[in-house]
Structure 1
């Protein structure tokens, strides 16, 4: 989080604490209830709680603290309406993107929680945010999750080993192939060689238009 913040990446207001005495001020710091409470070790939407009130937030945070769990408290972006955008970055290029929509009544958009993924065309701001976040963390491959907000795209998470099945199904792109090409090229560069450019399959050309600038 600190690396992203220092790089100027837009994010929801976020706070960490191990002191229950600070909870009222912490909740106000991220914009007040409702708030999102996340386990730092959680994946695929597990360990993510929406607390509708400050009282509920304090109860959940105290329960996690009693379990010695590491958590963060984050601003709830209501205008996202249970959806987010995942941009897949390989070697400094956005190679695919999808919009994930949570099922009815669900604030989490994760596909493993019943969400659906569809092809999306990134805005220039979204593409820039994904590339900036990936660069800030020094990653060659990343899945960047963003919320569409009134303040512009806000980066929720940067995954260094994101799943491929959902985005390949949503976009029709061979993301795995792009990662293999990148890995081969990286290996050659380290050995002082030069990778041969590979032609893009025709079926990928149309789908890749979804990551072009608006």
Structure 2
């Protein structure tokens, strides 16, 4: 088999839920909890998941920021599972979609990104974001 395979631990206690934290610079600007549709474990909104505003712990906030920074990203969507042993970073998205999280939270994330870029606008500044 000539293929790359990524294996991820199944976290049963997550019950098809995760938390998406949107990191801009050194701040989590919005967070939502996503719940999978009945019979699925994937909580992606485009797969029929449902979102609500999430209230995250300081540990989750720090984890999300550190995950983005570790990958050298100034803007990232960090997905966290709330496991029995504590929060776990499941995925870091270098080019996160904004529509679902902006609609759910009412936060103008695109505006926060622009404001952050303007604050950083110095000669030689380069936004680190996937694409």
TM-score (norm 2): 0.90
Aligned partner of 2:123 among 170, 187, 190? 190
Report 1:52-201 matches (<5 A).
Answer: 65=1, 68-187=2-121, 189-190=122-123
Spell out, residue by residue over 1:89-125, the C-alpha distance to the aligned partner (whole angstroms, 9 max, x if none).
1011010000000001110000011001110110111
Please state whether the residue corresponding to 1:86 is helix, strand or coil: strand
Aligned-CA RMSD value: 1.4
Provide runs of 4+ in structure 1 moved above 3 Å. none
The gaps in structure 1 that reach 5 residues or longer are 1-64, 193-214
Report 1:37-56 matches (<5 A).
Answer: none
State the aligned residue count.
125
Spell out, residue by residue over 1:2-58, the C-alpha distance to the aligned partner (whole angstroms, 9 max, x if none).
xxxxxxxxxxxxxxxxxxxxxxxxxxxxxxxxxxxxxxxxxxxxxxxxxxxxxxxxx
Please state whether the residue corresponding to 2:7 is helix, strand or coil: strand
The aligned residue for residue 129 of structure 2 is: none
Larger RCO, structure (CA 8 Å, separation 6 or more): 2
Contact 1:125/1:152, CA 8 A, preserved across alignment: no
Q: Distance in 1 between matches of 2:113 and 2:33?
A: 21
- Greater helix content: 1
The gaps in structure 2 that reach 5 residues or longer are 126-131
Please state whether the residue corresponding to 1:133 is helix, strand or coil: helix
TM-score (norm 1): 0.56
The alpha-carbon deviation at position 182 of structure 1 amounts to 1.5
The structure with the largest alpha-carbon Rg is 1
Q: Distance in 2 between matches of 1:104 and 1:123?
A: 27
